Structure 1
């Protein structure tokens, strides 16, 4: 997939040069000449990164960035002729991922875009989690131990997968309630009941099988 960039800049010569170079480097580029069009492009969806000029004919690029940051973590590289420290600091504090002062080379812009895109990508999570003899297939939502399948209810599976993603890490009852049930205000008895049932099912696997350990005063962890 070609990364999709939104280029928001009212300098026609600069924008055409950037778009041509970026497209040759393998990007798809949508160009907007003012804040109104830029906002439409950013919120339309499918954009991977924004290259944003600060001086726009119908508003401030910083205000556009501030509005975006209220609802989105879409990566933004500011490009501007404003090179004073106060301008750079303001852009970064509002939420720019990088700041380039004009003039700059197109090669540097491409390098900066690549670096920001790499930082913004979520870490790859393996489709299959192996914890000792336990295997959790996250794509199929199936768990087994030494070839024996576990019959799990949806919340039991979600609990097991979460623990299996970070074996040895202790999760508090509140963290488990928030991440699995989406409500940390629920009673901790909900977690206790699901842990109890899950332990019983893990205990029926051929030994040695992973176990859920209670860390008193802290929470639960999965030990291989």
Structure 2
């Protein structure tokens, strides 16, 4: 069953979309603000996201940017903003489609069906292997010497960002924004705590890391050789 996440600050809109999607056998969850939407994604990755831009906390563009930092889940922007600049910005940031309110429910459902057909073909098949550690970014699995290692969703997002930029320095502020979102770019203590846990789980000797390295005062780097 396709899981659709509806993100809109209008309760009537959330209710309308939920009723119509569930009537067609979609699994639906709703969020009235950006942070709630990201929390849902953190717990369970949707197959399609319907995203309003005018949200009360994080702007929809910020939510889209955050999503695109770690997933290529299809995102259909559903917005009352009709200016071409808004559409161009959303599409440039990685939105798959843009529907302007008011809209035909049948047209929107057709676009959801089209996006659903693309699920599973968007994420690149990226595997990083180093020193007995294997990170399968498409499947979201980490193994050490053939044994699967459980990472929390937040730990995995950190690993995913570093792995996709392996060999390159990822600055603390960029990593914080990618994982926790805008407004967290100075919370370096978050990274220290989670990186310590990641090293305990994935490094051969956590006290002498060779894969997940710290560049003091700058950021982190995943070293592959």
Measured against the shorter chain, the TM-score band is 0.5 to 0.7
1:42–1:50 CA contact under 8 A, matched in 2: no
Equivalent residue, structure 1, for 2:112: 113
- Give the corresponding residue for 2:23: 24
Match of 2:88 in 1: 89
Aligned-residue CA RMSD in angstroms? 1.3
Cα deviation for residue 44 of structure 1 reads 1.5
Deviation at 1:122, TM superposition (A): 3.0
Q: 1:67/1:46 Cα in 2 relative to 1: closer, same or farther (>3 Å)?
A: closer
8 A Cα contact 1:76 1:96, kept in partner: yes
- Specify the alignment match of 2:52 in structure 1: 53
Whole-Å Cα distance in 2 between the matches of residues 122 and 79 of structure 1?
23
Matched, 1:65 2:42: no
Q: 2:19 aligns to what SS in structure 1?
A: helix
Distance, in Å, in 1 between the alignment partners of 2:55 and 2:66 is: 15
Displacement over 2 Å in runs of 4+: 119-123
* TM superposition shift of 1:120: 3.3
1:80 paired residue number: 79
Task: Show the counterpart of 1:102.
Answer: 101
CA distance in 1, matches of 2:117, 2:88: 23
Q: Matches of 1:96 and 1:18 in 2, distance apart? A: 19
Contact 2:8 2:31 in 1 (8 A): yes
1:91-135 CA-to-partner distances (Å, cap 9, x unmatched) read 000010100000001111110011112133339xxxxxxxxxxxx
Deviation at 1:76, TM superposition (A): 0.5
How much does 1:42 deviate?
Answer: 1.7
Paired positions, count: 122
5+ long unaligned stretches in structure 1: 124-224
Alignment of 1:175-186 (within 5 A): none
Residues 162-181 of structure 1 aligned to structure 2 (within 5 Å): none
1:18 is displaced (CA, Å) by: 0.8
Shift in Å at residue 47 of structure 1? Answer: 1.3
Flag structure 2 segments of 5+ consecutive residues without an equivalent.
Answer: 123-225
2:148 corresponds to which residue?
none
Q: Distance in 2 between matches of 1:12 and 1:122?
A: 32
